Amino acid sequence: MMRRIESRIDPHSADFKRFREANLERVDEFRHRQEEARFERPQRDFDRLAHHGKHFVRDRIKQLLDPGTPFLELSSLAANSEYDGDSKGGSVVTGIGIVSGREVIVRADDPSIKGGAWYPLTVKKNIRCLDIAIENRLPVVHICDSAGGFLPLQAELFADRVSAGRIFRNQAILSKMGIPQLSLVFGQCTAGGAYIPSLSDYAVILRGNGGIFLGGPPLVKAATGEIVDADTLGGADVHTQVSGVADYAANSEEEAILLGREIVSQWTRPEKTSIERREPEAPHYDPEELYGIIPDDIKIQFDMREVIARVVDGSYFHEYQPDYGTSLVCGYAYIWGHKVGLLANNGVLFNDSSLKGAHFIELCDKNRTPLVFLQNITGFMVGREYEARGICKDGAKFIMVQAGASVPKFTVMVNGSFGAGNYGMCGRAFDGRFIFTWPNHQIGIMGAEQAANTLADVKIRQLERAGQTPSSEEIEAIRGPVIESYARESSAYYATSQLWDDGIIDPVDTRNALGVAISASLNTPIEEPSYGVLRL
């Protein structure tokens, strides 16, 4: 049995109303930015698609997915702070959806943006999409329509370990794992892009618009002097009747999508990993009350139990060690019927809360309970007393056990994420299956004020050693640019632009996003628990 959380929130209080107003403004800004990235293009780009008989990328995805089923879009605001805004959504749409009753990940080029050309962050988003497919054993449907790499930035997207070659490496790994892939070729797949359909189990190519070639007509002419049109070089009939690079030719996008859905319907449904489940139940408390719970200032504390109560099934929660290490809330709950272990920050991580977290993760790992981390963390506690107690050692235990956990891990950036606390609470570096971010989120090595004061103190000591006493104006001249830079680079929008998460979400959508993510994760077997050496 679990107990229902007893909420202590007063929806009529001045603070609740103030917080709600601030968070509604944040969500409105997020929705506006997301709609702009998804749909706003110069009319000439839509006209160009229409001229070539092409559908908009989101219309293609809508036709592909089973009607009435959810689509969890990932990283919808990738690249929003880069390339002068020219690569909306990172020039590719990715997400998890249902096709012919099968969970799949969709990777769809967006030809309304520079002909679907890949920017460096497009490559990073493609790689992350296929990493998710590998980690969660999700079949992939590629909707291919890309002009290839964005040549002015080619040095940033070609040669490194996590550059474009990693896309094709991941495709090869998926094939090795027996995870099927389908490519629907609706435009030209040039140079490296030609390998996406070539490395897929199945490929459908559209007559007229579809093309697959390592070198397009201009390159062929430059390299060999041969003059050839795109269809003769690598069109549908060439590749379905002569080369065998593709399997099916289609006369329209609609026909290609129907063929694709038929192909997916032949794929074997994987047997889900068994974890404890029960019938889903909506939270007892209204999730929209989250807007009045999260403060308008990141420095203001709040009780994470109030967040948990509006995310988990029935608002039921069994709290583990409620009177020990109270700056970390741990316990069991259900999300869309799946049992999970929750770890949520109610303050800085002390020695006791670090040990509590490590022990709780071990318990969850032993009984095959997925872990959900709700981050609002300023880091591990510092100071002479805590160093003497061994905060480094206890923090290392927390990090070691969390990194070694075999169960799926999911992270929600509820508010702040600073310092090594990000690591302990399963930040990006620690292989969580998914990370979702709320619009109010801030992330950094430390907060802007702390960083500015630290650098100012260093400069003041330098000047004092030189026999100078800095004026207040000189000190502010040091602090000001640091605060300005941190404000930009610690924001949720900068973080999601760089793909430090898998997308910003509206707080009220958290339960649904986690539900889809947890379901997808259960396509992968859970390994036996195993840990590294703990410094005792």
The pLDDT tens digits for 147-161 are: 888 888 988 988 898
pLDDT category, 340, cuts 50, 70, 90? very high
| Nearest-angstrom CA–CA distance, 529 and 405 | 6
Q: DSSP secondary-structure letter at 240?
A: I
pLDDT of residue 218: 82
pLDDT of residue 459: 76
Kindly give the pairing relationship between strand 181-190 and strand 211-213.
parallel
What lies within 8 Å, CB to CB, of 472 at 6+ separation is none
Q: With 80 as the cut, is the pLDDT of residue 463 above it?
A: no
Reported as a single tens digit per residue, the pLDDT across 276-288 is 999 999 999 999 9
The phi and psi torsions of 486 (rounded to 5 degrees) equal -65, -40
pLDDT of residue 113: 96
- What pTM, to 2 d.p., does this model score? 0.95
Reported as a single tens digit per residue, the pLDDT across 351-366 is 999 999 999 999 999 9
* 118: helix, strand or coil: strand
Per cent of the chain over pLDDT 70 is 100
pLDDT of residue 395: 94
Q: With 80 as the cut, is the pLDDT of residue 448 above it?
A: no
Reported as a single tens digit per residue, the pLDDT across 45-80 is 999 999 999 999 999 999 999 999 999 999 999 999
Average pLDDT rounded to a whole number, residues 336-347: 98
pLDDT category, 310, cuts 50, 70, 90? very high
| Nearest-angstrom CA–CA distance, 396 and 172 | 36
Q: With 80 as the cut, is the pLDDT of residue 478 above it?
A: no
Residue 528 exposed, middle or buried by CB count within 10 Å (0-12, 13-18, 19+) = exposed
Q: What is the average pLDDT value for the chain, to the nearest integer?
A: 94
* Under 8 Å between Cβ of 103 and 518: no
Q: With 90 as the cut, is the pLDDT of residue 275 above it?
A: yes
Q: Where does 405-447 have alpha helices with state H?
A: 421-424
Encoded tokens for 96: 């998890």
Which amino acid is residue 173, in one-letter code? Answer: I
Closest CA to 87 of 59, 116, 58, 64: 116
pLDDT category, 423, cuts 50, 70, 90? very high
Q: With 80 as the cut, is the pLDDT of residue 435 above it?
A: yes
| Nearest-angstrom CA–CA distance, 436 and 335 | 15
Residue 349 bridge partners (DSSP): 380
Q: With 80 as the cut, is the pLDDT of residue 12 above it?
A: yes
pLDDT category, 272, cuts 50, 70, 90? very high
| Nearest-angstrom CA–CA distance, 167 and 131 | 9
pLDDT of residue 504: 98
| Nearest-angstrom CA–CA distance, 109 and 145 | 5
pLDDT of residue 24: 98
* Under 8 Å between Cβ of 201 and 247: no
Average pLDDT rounded to a whole number, residues 425-450: 92
Q: Where does 351-507 have alpha helices with state H?
A: 351-366, 384-389, 391-404, 421-424, 448-465, 472-489, 492-497
Instruction: Tell me the C-alpha to C-alpha distance, in Å, between residue 322 and each of 311, 346, 518.
Output: 19, 12, 26
* Under 8 Å between Cβ of 218 and 230: no
pLDDT of residue 386: 83
Q: DSSP secondary-structure letter at 221?
A: H
Average pLDDT rounded to a whole number, residues 226-234: 88
pLDDT of residue 355: 97
pLDDT category, 524, cuts 50, 70, 90? very high
Q: With 80 as the cut, is the pLDDT of residue 135 above it?
A: yes
* Under 8 Å between Cβ of 365 and 407: yes
Average pLDDT rounded to a whole number, residues 236-249: 96
pLDDT of residue 57: 98
pLDDT category, 111, cuts 50, 70, 90? very high
- Between 210 and 228, the more confident residue is 210
Per cent of the chain over pLDDT 90 is 79
Reported as a single tens digit per residue, the pLDDT across 112-124 is 999 999 999 999 9
Domains of the chain: 12-41+271-445+491-536 (3.90.226.10), 53-265 (3.90.226.10), 448-489 (no CATH)
